[in-house]
Structure 1
Amino acid sequence: MTSTASTVERAFRAALYDDTDTGLDTGASLLAADPGADAELVRRGEEFVAAAWRRGWQPADVVRLVRRELEEAHVHLAAALIRAQAGRDRPRGRRWAGQLAALPTGPDRATDRATDRFSHATTVLELYRLLLRLPALEPLDDEPRRALGPAASRMLTRIRALLAKAEATGYPEEAEALSAKAQELMARHSVDEALLAAEAPAPDAPGACRIGVEPPYEQAKAVLLDAVATANHCRAVWNEPLGFSTVVGFEADLEAVELLYTSLLVQATHAMTRAEAAQRAGGRKRTKTFRQSFLAAYAHRVGDRLAAAAETQVTQDLLPVLATRAIAVTGRLETMFPQTTTTRLRGVSDAAGWDEGARAADRAQVRARPRLE
C-alpha cells in the first residue's frame, strides 16, 4: 500500500466508520496534512458513486438526498464526482443523460482557493459518510424498452413550452387556453404511443422514474403526484424518508406525469401565496397551518377532478389496449414493491386554508382531456 493510499485508509477508518466529530476531525487532519493523497481521495469518491449506482440510485437521487441532508458545498462536490465517474461509466439511457446535464455547477476544490485543506477534507468525509450508508433502492431501467422517436420528442418540447407559458402569464384566460392546449397534446401523445406500441413487433413494457417530493408539506405533494399519476395510467409509490415517489408507467405517460405534476405544483404555490397574503392582510398569522391545509385541499380536489376526467376520456375500441397496458403497469409495480401502504393526509386543521385550497384547485388548469378516438 502506498503512503497516499495509507493516508486515505487511515482517514476513512477514523471518520467513515465513526459518527463522532472527533473521528471526523481526525480523518480531516490526516488528509489535510498529505496533499499527495488528493488524487486517491477523489478516486475513492468515484468508487462510492459507482457503488450507489449498483444499489439502484441515480444522479438526481443522490443530489436530492445530499441537498436534503448536508450543505450546498457537499452538493457541488457530489456533482463533480458524478461527472468524473460518468466519463468511465458504461453507456446509460436518455433519462440518465438528462440528469447528468442537470447537475448543479459551482466551485470545485481546484478553483475554490478560499477553502482551507482541513475544511475541504471535512466536507469530503461528510459526503462520503452519506454515500457509504445509502440503502439499496428498487432498480430502475436506465432506458425505456422502446425509446421515444423524434416526433414524440418534438411533441414533448411543445407541451413543455405551453405549460411554461401558462405558469408565467398573469392573465387567467391565457393560462387556461395554453394549459388546455397542452392537455390536448398530452392526450393525443399518450394514445398515439399506446397504439404504436400495440402494433410494434416487440411488445412495449412499462418503465419507472423517480420524482422528488420536496419539503415542506411533502405529504400533500405526494398525494397530488399520486393523483396525477393515476389519471395518466401510471402508479406512484412514495418513499417519505428519502423524499421521492417512484412512478411506474409507459414512457409517454411518465413524461405527462412529470410535466403535469410540476405545472400543478407551480400553480398551487402561486395560488397559495396570493391567498396567504390576503389572509395575513386580514390579521391572520397562522401561516404554517394555513399552508398545510391549503395544499392538502388542493391535492384532494385536483385528484377528484383528474379522476372525473379520466372516466370520460376513453372510447370503447381503445379499452383492450389500455387494459393490457394497465395490467403491465400493475405487474411491474408489484414486482418492484411487493408491499405498499396508502398515504392519508394528516394534520389538516385550518378551515380557511382548506377552503382556499379547494377553490384554487377548482381554478387550476386541469380540464378534462378530449375523448381519445
Structure 2
Amino acid sequence: MDTLRDAILRAATNRRAPLPRTGGLDAADVDGAARDVLDRMLVGLWEHGWLPVDVVEAVRRAAEPRAESVVVDAVARTLAGYRSLHPAWVEQAAAVDAVVWWDPAQPYLPQWAARHIEVLDEAVAVVVAALAALIPLPALPEIVPPPGSPLADVTHHHVDPKVLKRVRGLLAKAESTAFPEEAEALSAKAQELVTRHALERMPTEVATTASRRVWLDKRYFDGKAQIVHVVAEANRCRAVVYDLGFVALVGEELDLEIVELLSASLLVQATRAMVAAGDGARKGDESRSLAYRKSFLLSYAHRVGERLKAANEPPTDDDRLLPVLAERKRAVDQLFTTLFTRTVSKSTPIRSEAGWQAGRAAANRADLDVRRS
C-alpha cells in the first residue's frame, strides 16, 4: 500500500516517472491507495482556502475530463466525512454535482472504472492526472469556514425575489436581442434597478461583508476579467484578478450577488459584440485576430465601466445614506486588506487600435440615460 501510494505521488509530480501498474494487486488495496492520496490532497486544499468549485475549475483547465470526474467524486467523498458544513460548502458541492453515486461498501475505483469502461490501470492513471493538476495549486485566502468548523448564525442578504425576477428578465432580453443599442439600454435599466434596490435597503440592514470567486473561460481571460472588475467597482465592491482563472470579489453580500448577475450578462453581450465585429471579414483580416479581440474586450470593459460608474453615482444630499455608504466602504476595504495582503497592479498592452476603437464603439452606442427609456 505504501509503495503504491509513493508510486502514485511520484507519477503525479514527475511526468517522466512510470505510471503505477496494478497487476497482481488486490483491487481493494489499489482503491485504498488511490483514494487516500487524492482525499488527503483535497482535505489539504480545503484547509488552505480552496472550495469545491475552485478545485473542479482548476482541474478542468489543467487535465482531461475524466480527471475532473474523479475529483468531483472525491469532493463528495471528503465532504461526506464532516459532521458540520457551512451552507456555502453544500451549495458548492451541489454546483459541481458532487454526489456519492457508488456503493460505499465496495471499493470505489473499480466502480469508477466500470462506469467509464476502463481497466483499473487506466483508472489509476486518471487519478495521477488529477493529482498532477492539484499539487501545484497555491494557498488561497479563506473566504468560507473550512469543513468541520463550528457553525455560527449568519444573516445573509439577497436580492429581493421580485426585483431579481425583473432584473433577470431585462438581462435575458439584453442577451437575446440582435441590436446592441437595445442590449445596452436594457442592461442599464437592470443596473439602475438593482442600484436603487441596494441603496434603499442599506440604511435598514446590517452589512454582511464577504468574498466570492468568479471563474472565467481561459480564452480572452484578461478582457473578461476586466469586465467583471469594472462591474464590481460600479457596485461598491473590490476585485483581484488571479491568473489561475478567476476574479476574487469583496463586498457586501447583496452587492456581490448583483455583480455576479450583471457581469455574467455583460460577458455574454460583450462576447457576442466581439464576434459580430468580425462577421463578414475574410480569413486573415485584423478583425478576426487574437490581438483585435483582446483589445476589443478591454476597450469594451473600459467604456462600460465609465458608463456604469456615471449611472451609479449615489445621491450627495441624503444625510441618512451617506454615512452608511462610508461605513460599508470601510468594511469592504478592511476585509480586502485582510484577505489580500500583497497585490500588484498589472497592465495589459493594447495591440490593436482597430479592436480598441471597435470595442469602445460597441460599449458607447446606447443612450444609458434610462430615465428616458
- Give the structure-2-normalised TM-score: 0.83
Corresponding residue of 1:271: 273
Aligned length: 352
Equivalent residue for 1:37, pick from 11, 17, 29: 29
* C-alpha distance after superposition, 1:15-73 (max 9, x if no partner): 31453345341x2x138843122542335433322221111000111111101111111
* C-alpha distance after superposition, 1:70-109 (max 9, x if no partner): 1111112211211222322344344433322221589971
* C-alpha distance after superposition, 1:130-152 (max 9, x if no partner): 33443211110359942136x73
Q: 3-state DSSP class of the match of 1:23?
A: coil
State the shift of 1:110 in Å.
5.1
Q: Is the 8 A contact 1:228 1:257 kept in 2?
A: yes
Corresponding residue of 1:3: none
Corresponding residue of 1:89: 82
Rounded to whole Å, the distance in 1 between the matches of 2:182 and 2:24 is 58
State the shift of 1:320 in Å.
0.8
* C-alpha distance after superposition, 1:286-311 (max 9, x if no partner): 52111111112111111221222233
State the shift of 1:121 in Å.
0.7
Corresponding residue of 1:324: 327
Q: 3-state DSSP class of the match of 1:298?
A: helix
User: In 2 relative to 1, CA 184–325 (structure 1 residues): closer, same or farther, beyond 3 Å?
Assistant: same
Q: What is the aligned-residue RMSD (CA, Å)?
A: 3.0
Q: Does 1:207 align with 2:210?
A: yes
Identity of aligned residues (%): 36
Q: Does 1:352 align with 2:357?
A: no
My pick for the range that moved more, 123-132 or 243-252, is 123-132
User: In 2 relative to 1, CA 21–30 (structure 1 residues): closer, same or farther, beyond 3 Å?
Assistant: farther
Corresponding residue of 1:201: none
Rounded to whole Å, the distance in 2 between the matches of 1:173 and 1:134 is 42
Equivalent residue for 1:23, pick from 6, 11, 17: 17
Q: 3-state DSSP class of the match of 1:253?
A: helix
State the shift of 1:171 in Å.
5.1
State the shift of 1:157 in Å.
4.7
Rounded to whole Å, the distance in 2 between the matches of 1:220 and 1:144 is 38
Q: Is the 8 A contact 1:220 1:295 kept in 2?
A: yes
Say which structure is richer in helix. Answer: 1
Q: Does 1:100 align with 2:102?
A: no
Corresponding residue of 1:59: 52
Equivalent residue for 1:308, pick from 307, 310, 321: 310
Map 1:189-208 to 2 at 5 A.
189-198=197-206, 204-208=207-211
* C-alpha distance after superposition, 1:227-252 (max 9, x if no partner): 11111000001112x11121000000
Q: Does 1:185 align with 2:187?
A: no
Rounded to whole Å, the distance in 2 between the matches of 1:62 and 1:32 is 33
Rounded to whole Å, the distance in 1 between the matches of 2:339 and 2:138 is 15
User: In 2 relative to 1, CA 68–356 (structure 1 residues): closer, same or farther, beyond 3 Å?
Assistant: same
User: In 2 relative to 1, CA 189–66 (structure 1 residues): closer, same or farther, beyond 3 Å?
Assistant: same
Q: What stretches of structure 2 of length at least 5 have no aligned partner?
A: 102-110, 146-151
User: In 2 relative to 1, CA 368–94 (structure 1 residues): closer, same or farther, beyond 3 Å?
Assistant: farther
Equivalent residue for 1:291, pick from 290, 293, 308: 293
Corresponding residue of 2:40: 47
Rounded to whole Å, the distance in 2 between the matches of 1:36 and 1:187 is 57
Q: Is the 8 A contact 1:140 1:207 kept in 2?
A: yes
Q: Is the 8 A contact 2:287 2:293 kept in 1?
A: no
* C-alpha distance after superposition, 1:192-224 (max 9, x if no partner): 4422324xxxxx341101111332222222222
Amino acid across the alignment from 2:250: V
Amino acid across the alignment from 1:358: R
Amino acid across the alignment from 1:146: T
User: In 2 relative to 1, CA 16–154 (structure 1 residues): closer, same or farther, beyond 3 Å?
Assistant: farther
Equivalent residue for 2:340, pick from 337, 342, 347: 337
Amino acid across the alignment from 1:47: R
Rounded to whole Å, the distance in 2 between the matches of 1:308 and 1:174 is 19
Equivalent residue for 1:75, pick from 32, 49, 68: 68
Amino acid across the alignment from 2:279: A
Rounded to whole Å, the distance in 2 between the matches of 1:210 and 1:276 is 31
- Give the structure-1-normalised TM-score: 0.83
User: In 2 relative to 1, CA 354–171 (structure 1 residues): closer, same or farther, beyond 3 Å?
Assistant: closer
Q: Is the 8 A contact 1:144 1:251 kept in 2?
A: no
Corresponding residue of 1:261: 263
Q: Is the 8 A contact 2:286 2:292 kept in 1?
A: no
Corresponding residue of 2:106: none
Q: Is the 8 A contact 1:297 1:355 kept in 2?
A: yes
Rounded to whole Å, the distance in 2 between the matches of 1:183 and 1:165 is 14
